């Protein structure tokens, strides 16, 4: 993971830190490749360590504070799949609530600061484990008043599902603003669009890579 900085600003090997899945502590596998003296750990690294611990076959976890999904984490109306690229969202994305997991002694600042909170969040990830053997591209959930987590079997698929989760939230919110009841995907449409999306990110991935390459004012590669 990135060291303690906004992940988009990662620019060199020294900006990366290996963490142990067992306890989320920094792990220096190769001082040549990673930050040799890890600074303060990324505070929410427990999201990642606990998910990887529970699902060894998972190779990518994205946690995001994307604004369009947050209204769905504090409203009783679910984030349901409403367009053809987001069938993996199903008919309603679960919302994990910090308040159900806090101990009185916890700092209640809406951050996943310890393994217990990370384990509680992991239990709320519903659905089959993403696998190349079947057609479930991702597990996903919303975190109340905070953001979302998407889990998949490859970085490409995880990015794809994260991007389409945000787009689905934007579409649904826009449609509801039109004032009429919106029509979301049926169970059958969810299953069939999910199967299609699971075939891969071959088409959109090069576009997203190119977008990063040309946005050199933000994204830098000093390696």
Residues that bind Zn ion (CB under 5 A): 44
Rg (CA), the chain: 18
Q: Residue 109 or 217: which CB sits closer to Zn ion?
A: 109
Minimum CB–partner distance for residue 2 and Zn ion (Å) = 13
Q: Residue 44 or 50: which CB sits closer to Zn ion?
A: 44
Given strand 95-96, what is the order of strands in its sheet? 60-64, 147-152, 138-143, 95-96
- Residues 6 or more apart whose Cβ sits within 8 Å of residue 145: 70, 73, 74, 98, 110
Catalytic residue among 25, 44, 180, 211, which? Answer: 44
Minimum CB–partner distance for residue 43 and Zn ion (Å) = 8
Residue 150, strand partner residues = 62, 140
Three-class secondary structure of residue 64 per DSSP: strand
Residue whose pair of structure tokens reads 């934007």 in the numeric block: 170
φ, ψ of residue 163 to 5 degrees: the values are: -65, -45
Query: Are the C-beta atoms of residues 139 and 151 closer than 8 Å to each other?
Result: yes
Q: Residue 86 or 117: which CB sits closer to Zn ion?
A: 117
Give Cα 143 distance to the centre of its chain: 10
User: What token pair was written down for 219?
Assistant: 């994204």
Minimum CB–partner distance for residue 29 and Zn ion (Å) = 25
Minimum CB–partner distance for residue 1 and Zn ion (Å) = 12
Q: Residue 15 or 44: which CB sits closer to Zn ion?
A: 44
Which residue number has the CB closest to Zn ion? 44
Q: Residue 44 or 97: which CB sits closer to Zn ion?
A: 44
- Known catalytic residue: 44? yes
Report the alpha-carbon distance of residue 168 to residue 191 in Å, rounded. Answer: 16
Minimum CB–partner distance for residue 79 and Zn ion (Å) = 17
Q: Which residues are tagged catalytic? A: 44
């Amino acid at each position: 993971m990135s060291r303690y900085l906004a992940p988009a600003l990662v620019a060199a090997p020294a900006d990366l830190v290996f963490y142990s899945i067992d306890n989320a502590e920094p792990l220096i596998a190769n001082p040549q490749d990673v930050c040799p003296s890890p600074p303060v750990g990324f505070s929410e690294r427990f999201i990642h360590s606990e998910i990887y611990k529970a699902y060894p076959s998972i190779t990518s976890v994205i946690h995001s504070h994307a604004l369009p999904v947050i209204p769905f984490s504090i409203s009783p109306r679910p984030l349901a799949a409403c367009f053809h690229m987001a069938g993996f969202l199903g008919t309603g994305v679960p919302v994990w609530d910090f308040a159900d997991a806090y101990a009185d002694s916890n700092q209640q600042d809406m951050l996943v600061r310890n393994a217990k909170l990370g384990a509680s969040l992991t239990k709320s990830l519903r659905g089959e484990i993403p696998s190349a053997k079947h057609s479930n591209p991702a597990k996903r959930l919303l975190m109340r008043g905070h953001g979302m987590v998407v889990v998949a079997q490859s970085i490409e698929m995880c990015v794809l599902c994260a991007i389409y989760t945000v787009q689905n939230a934007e579409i649904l919110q826009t449609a509801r603003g039109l004032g009429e009841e919106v029509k979301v995907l049926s169970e059958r449409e969810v299953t069939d669009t999910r199967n299609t999306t699971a075939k891969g990110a071959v088409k959109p991935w090069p576009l997203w890579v190119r977008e990063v390459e040309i946005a050199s004012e933000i994204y830098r590669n000093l390696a």
